[in-house]
Structures are given as structure tokens and as C-alpha cells.
């Protein structure tokens, strides 16, 4: 049975909810439990829940408050995913290397189901990872995260591969990625102390520096981190094409 403990935020790093919630974003913390709770309760970032390795969920913010977990992000053509999402930070030091314990994943499944009951606009296609909404910039929850198993219980989508016989052009791949919710090519850079999204990395607005371009291959790698974890290198293979077409058809 899922145990939820109150761990109310102690900083001002959150905001009022203005837009309706329709997205759930999953992360790994890259910190142990104690450090995760310290950072997410007292520092400049936050989340709605921190999920411990033993399956205990620490509730930091209410769903009607905006947590600062996704940063510069885009999903289904809309920027600033924080404004309409719930964020769960899963305690794991590196989800691209470290397995997620079964007890933690069982608790996560219950927590996600509870959140979806409370926010029915969160469809399976909008239960995603930080890497899905912030390609290139973020790689969590990582290739060890059991997306396929969770999709079997309705948490997120898992594609049935299409029967494609050839890999599409980058333009065709980009169109499929966007159909699945992923960002169009863009960039991100720093304006003062904060990161901002840049529509055209070749012509950033005044005052934005250190611009990193995010292209189709970077966005494809985000797709692979989620759906093809054994081949997350941004290079499309026939298997990638089939999975991508399968996911696009499931939208």
C-alpha cells in the first residue's frame, strides 16, 4: 500500500496554478533521499512528490500549486511544461545506470494512478520523462526506467511497432516526433541567471548567451531514451522508425 508523508516545501520556489493540469513528468533526483528532500524543499527547485527507494512518497506541494521541476521545456507545442504538469522526483543516483527497485516502481504505479484519478486530463500520452520535454538538456528518468512495464498498467504509452520497411528522412522523423508530442527544433541559452528557450538558435534574442541548438537527432535521442533504451544515440534505425510510427499511430 502506498504510503504518503507530508513534507511541505519550506522555500518560495513554487507558484500559483493558472492553467489546467494535463501532463505528468517523471524525473530521477541524482541525489540520495536526504539530499533530494533538502534541495526540493529548501532550494530554488521543487516537485510535487519525492519518491524514496523504499516506496514512501513525500508530498512537497499540492497539485494546485506549480512546482519548478521541468525548467526550459516543451510538450505538444507548448512551452513551460511546469505550468500544466505534476512533477514526481524519483530518488535514484543515475537512472541511466542504476536499476529502480521493484518496491519503488510498484509505489510509483500507485502514485501515478492516484494522480491521474485526481487529474483526469492527464492522458497516458502525456505521462512522460523530463528527457521527453527537455531533449538534449536532460536525460532523466533514464534508460533503466521501466516505461514498458508501467505502460502495461496504463501509465504512459508503449508503441506497437509499425511495419515500416525504410527509415524516413530527418524531416519525416521530425514530423512524427511532433505528432508524438516532442518539441520542434529549437535552442536554449542563458539570460542572466535563468535558462530560456530560443526559437532560432542561429538568431538568439538580445541578452541570451551560450545558446545550445537542439535538432532533430537530439530530439530523436530523447525518444530513444524512452522507447529504445538500448540504442539511445540519436541515429534512426529501422527499429526506431517502426517504434516512432507505432507511437504516432497511438496518439
Active-site positions?
89
Among the listed residues 61, 83, 80, the one whose alpha carbon sits nearest the alpha carbon of residue 10: 61
Choice between 150 and 173, CB closer to Zn ion: 150
To Zn ion, the closest distance from the beta carbon of 238 in angstroms equals 31
Please, is 64 exposed, middle or buried when counting C-beta atoms within 10 Å of its C-beta (0-12, 13-18, 19+)? exposed
Distance, in Å, from the CA atom of 31 to the CA atom of 34, rounded to the nearest integer, reads 8
Choice between 27 and 136, CB closer to Zn ion: 27
Other C-beta atoms lying within 10 Å of the C-beta of residue 135: 29
To Zn ion, the closest distance from the beta carbon of 134 in angstroms equals 8
Residue 90 forms beta bridges with which residues? 28, 51
Got the DSSP string for 3-58?
A: -EEE----SS-EEE--SPP-EEEEEE-SS-HHHHHHHHHHSS---SEEE-TTSPEE
To Zn ion, the closest distance from the beta carbon of 136 in angstroms equals 13
The gap from C-alpha 69 to its chain's centroid, in whole angstroms, comes to 10
Distance, in Å, from the CA atom of 144 to the CA atom of 134, rounded to the nearest integer, reads 18
Choice between 140 and 245, CB closer to Zn ion: 140
Choice between 55 and 141, CB closer to Zn ion: 141
To Zn ion, the closest distance from the beta carbon of 28 in angstroms equals 7
To Zn ion, the closest distance from the beta carbon of 29 in angstroms equals 8
Residues that bind Zn ion (CB under 5 A): 27, 130, 140
- Show Cβ contacts of residue 117 under 8 Å, excluding neighbours closer than 6 positions: none
Choice between 58 and 246, CB closer to Zn ion: 58
Amino acid at each position: 500500500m502506498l504510503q504518503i508523508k507530508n513534507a511541505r516545501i519550506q522555500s518560495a520556489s513554487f507558484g500559483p496554478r493558472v492553467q489546467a493540469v494535463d501532463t505528468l513528468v517523471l524525473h530521477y533526483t541524482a541525489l540520495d533521499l536526504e539530499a533530494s528532500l533538502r534541495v526540493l524543499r529548501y532550494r530554488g527547485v521543487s516537485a510535487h512528490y519525492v519518491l524514496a527507494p523504499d516506496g514512501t512518497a513525500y508530498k512537497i506541494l499540492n497539485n494546485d500549486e506549480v512546482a519548478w521541476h521541468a525548467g526550459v521545456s516543451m510538450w505538444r507545442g507548448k512551452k513551460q511544461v511546469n505550468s500544466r504538469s505534476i512533477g514526481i522526483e524519483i530518488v535514484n543516483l543515475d537512472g541511466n545506470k542504476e536499476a529502480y527497485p521493484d518496491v519503488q516502481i510498484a509505489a510509483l504505479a500507485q502514485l501515478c494512478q492516484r494522480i491521474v484519478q485526481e487529474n483526469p486530463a492527464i492522458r497516458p500520452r502525456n505521462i512522460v520523462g523530463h528527457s521527453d520535454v527537455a531533449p538534449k538538456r536532460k536525460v532523466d528518468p533514464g534508460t533503466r526506467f521501466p516505461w514498458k512495464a508501467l505502460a502495461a498498467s496504463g501509465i504512459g504509452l508503449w508503441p506497437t511497432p509499425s511495419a515500416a520497411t525504410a527509415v524516413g528522412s530527418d524531416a519525416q522523423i521530425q514530423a512524427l516526433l511532433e505528432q508524438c508530442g516532442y518539441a520542434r527544433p529549437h535552442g536554449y541559452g542563458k539570460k542572466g541567471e535563468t535558462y530560456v528557450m530560443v526559437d532560432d538558435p542561429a538568431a538568439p534574442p538580445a541578452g541570451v548567451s551560450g545558446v545550445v541548438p537542439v535538432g532533430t537527432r537530439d530530439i530523436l535521442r530523447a525518444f530513444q531514451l524512452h522507447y529504445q533504451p538500448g540504442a539511445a544515440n540519436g541515429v534512426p534505425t529501422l527499429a526506431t522508425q517502426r517504434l516512432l510510427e507505432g507511437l504516432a499511430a497511438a496518439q
